[in-house]
Chain A
Amino acid sequence: MEPSTTQDRHFFIKALKIAATLKPVIDHAEDISLEAMNAKSIVARAGDHARAIRPITDRMDELSKNIIELIKQIRSESMNVCRDSISDFTEEVAASHLQRGRTIGRNSKFISDLDTKISLTAARLRELRIRTQDHVLKLSLLLEDIESSLLATTVIIAKFRLEAGVSGSEFRPHFETLVQKFENSVTQSRASVLGSKKTLAECRRTIKR
C-alpha cells in the first residue's frame, strides 16, 4: 500500500486534472451557444422554410448555457477538492513529523506533551477527509448532470439534422454546416467529461483506500 502522503499527492493532482480536462468544454459550450445564435438568425431569414428549426435552436441555446453554468460549478468544486486535498497533504506531513518526534523521543521526559498535538492533528485530518468526500460526491453529481445535458443536446442535434434535411434548399447547406459544428463540439465535450469521470473514479478509489 502506498504511504498516505503519496496518495494525497496523487489525489490533489487528479483534482487539478479534472479542472484542466473540463476547461475546453466551456469553449465548446460557448461555441454551441454562439452557433445557436447564428442558427437563430438564419432561421429568422428563412422564415416559413425553417419554422420547425426555431424551437430547436432555442433549446440548443438553453442547453449550452446550462452546460456553461455546470462546467463553472464543476471547476469550482474540483478546485475545492484540490484545496482540501492539499490541506490534507500538509496536515498529513505535519502529523508524520510529530509522530516521528514522538517515536524518536519515546524516552524523553516531556514527550507526552505532544500527544494532545498529535490528537488534534488527527482530528483535523478526519474533518478534512469528510469535507473532501462531500466535495467529491457533489462533483460526481455535477458530472452526471452535465453528461445528461450533453446527451439531451445530442438528441436535439439529431432532430436538427432531420429538420435541416427538409428545409429550403437555399438554407440547407448553412443548417447542415451548423449541425456538423454542434456535433463536433458535443462529441469533444463528452470525451472531456468521460475523461473527468474516469479521473474522479480514481479519486474515489483513493479515498476508499
Chain B
Amino acid sequence: MMKSTILFEDESHQWVLFGRDPEKSSDIIDTNQFMVKCRDKAVLLDPGGIELFAPMLAAVADWVPIENITTLFASHQDPDIISSLGLWDRTLTNATLHAPWIWEGFIKHFGCTSIAYDPLPDEGKTIKVEDTELVFIPAHYLHSSGNFSVYDPQAKILMSGDIGAALLPDDAPMMVEDFAAHTKKMKMFHQRWMPSNAAKNDWIRRVRNLDIELMAPQHGAVFSGDDIAKFLDWFEELDVGIAISEQQT
C-alpha cells in the first residue's frame, strides 16, 4: 500500500502526502501526491499518472469517501502529474479540475468529460474549499510553460510541484534531513528541467514573502524550517537551463 504521511492537521483540514509506493514499477519516476482533506470535501493535488491510479485510489479511500473528492489540481500537464485524469473522470461524480489555462486543450486528451475544467489564469487564483483557502501561485517555466505552485496560508505549506524535486531511492525518508547532501540530488534536475533564470527569480521573489513551514515538491523529500530559506538561496544561485551551454563546452 502507498505510504501516507500527515503533513499538517487542525480542526478545519489536514494535508496528507501519498508516495513511496512499494509496488511501483522501478522504471517509472517516484512521485508525491497530496490531499487536502476538509470536513466533507477533499482536494487532490497532482494526483499522478495512470500507473499510480489504483494504489492512489486505494490510499485515498482509506481517508475519505470517494464522493468527497470534489477538487483536483494539476500544477502542469505532465503524465506523472495528471495522466490518471481519465480514470478519475470515471470515478468522481462531482469534481472540478483546476489547471493552467494554456494546458486545457492538452490535458483534456487524458479524458475529461464529467470533471469540469477550471482554467487557471496566468496571474493565479485563490479558491476556498469549505474553510480552507488555497492560493495558486504562478510558477511558469518551472518547469512547464504553464505551471503553478499551491500555498495554504493556514497550514503554511507550499506545494511546489517540480521545484525542489530530487531524484531519490524508493526507501528515502520523507523529510530532507541533510540539506547540503540533498542539493546534490536536486542540482541536475533543476539545471536541466528549469529553462529560465528570469522565471526562477520571479518565483523566488513571490515565495520569499510567504510564511512557509513546509515546502513539498512532487518528487523527493519535503523541506521544513530553515531548509526552505536555504533552498531559496541555493536555487537563486543556481544557473538553470544550461543544457545548451554544457553541450557547447
Q: Which of B58, B63, B67, B86 is the one whose CB lies under 8 Å from A104?
A: B58
On whether the beta carbons of A104 and B55 are closer than 8 Å, the reply is yes
Interface-facing stretch out of A36-44, A113-121, A180-188: A113-121
**B-side contacts of A113, CB under 8 Å:** 61, 65-67
**A-side contacts of B54, CB under 8 Å:** 97-98, 100-101, 103-104
On whether the beta carbons of B65 and A105 are closer than 8 Å, the reply is no
On whether the beta carbons of B91 and A108 are closer than 8 Å, the reply is no
Does B64 have its Cβ within 8 Å of any Cβ on chain A? yes
On whether the beta carbons of B58 and A97 are closer than 8 Å, the reply is no
Q: CB-CB contacts of B187-214 with A at 8 A, as 1s and 0s?
A: 0000000000000000000000000000
Interface of B is mostly: helix
Q: If A105-B59, A114-B61, A121-B90 touch, does A97 touch B66 (CB 8 Å cutoff)?
A: no
On whether the beta carbons of B90 and A105 are closer than 8 Å, the reply is no
**B-side contacts of A111, CB under 8 Å:** 58, 61-62
- Give, as a whole number of angstroms, the nearest-CB distance from A109 to chain B: 5
On whether the beta carbons of B53 and A110 are closer than 8 Å, the reply is no
**B-side contacts of A117, CB under 8 Å:** 66, 90-91
Q: How far is the CA of A69 from the CA of B61 in the complex (A)?
A: 54
Q: If A94-B87, A105-B58 touch, does A114 touch B66 (CB 8 Å cutoff)?
A: yes
Q: Is the interface on chain A under 10, 10 to 19, 20 to 34, or 35 or more residues? A: 10 to 19
- Give, as a whole number of angstroms, the nearest-CB distance from A92 to chain B: 12
**A-side contacts of B23, CB under 8 Å:** 104
On whether the beta carbons of A97 and B59 are closer than 8 Å, the reply is no
On whether the beta carbons of A97 and B87 are closer than 8 Å, the reply is yes
On whether the beta carbons of B90 and A94 are closer than 8 Å, the reply is yes
Residues 97-142 of A at the B interface (beta carbon under 8 Å): 97-98, 100-105, 107-111, 113-114, 117, 121
**A-side contacts of B50, CB under 8 Å:** 97
On whether the beta carbons of B90 and A101 are closer than 8 Å, the reply is no
Does B29 have its Cβ within 8 Å of any Cβ on chain A? no
**B-side contacts of A110, CB under 8 Å:** 61-66
Q: CB-CB contacts of B40-79 with A at 8 A, as 1s and 0s?
A: 0000000000100111111101111111000000000000
Does B180 have its Cβ within 8 Å of any Cβ on chain A? no
On whether the beta carbons of B64 and A101 are closer than 8 Å, the reply is no
Q: How far is the CA of A203 from the CA of B61 in the complex (A)?
A: 39
On whether the beta carbons of B62 and A105 are closer than 8 Å, the reply is yes
Q: How far is the CA of A30 from the CA of B211 in the complex (A)?
A: 76
On whether the beta carbons of B59 and A108 are closer than 8 Å, the reply is yes
On whether the beta carbons of B87 and A108 are closer than 8 Å, the reply is no
- Please, could you name 28 A-B residue pairs with CB atoms under 8 Å apart, sorted by A? A94-B86, A94-B90, A97-B53, A97-B54, A97-B57, A98-B57, A98-B91, A100-B54, A101-B56, A101-B58, A104-B55, A104-B58, A105-B57, A105-B62, A107-B62, A108-B59, A108-B62, A109-B61, A110-B61, A110-B62, A110-B63, A111-B58, A111-B62, A113-B65, A113-B67, A114-B91, A117-B66, A117-B90
Other contacts beyond A97-B87, A101-B61, A109-B63: 18, CB < 8 A: A94-B86, A97-B54, A97-B57, A98-B57, A103-B54, A103-B58, A104-B1, A104-B55, A104-B57, A105-B1, A105-B58, A105-B59, A107-B62, A108-B58, A109-B61, A110-B61, A110-B63, A111-B61
- Spell out A's residues near B (CB within 8 Å): 94, 97-98, 100-105, 107-111, 113-114, 117, 121
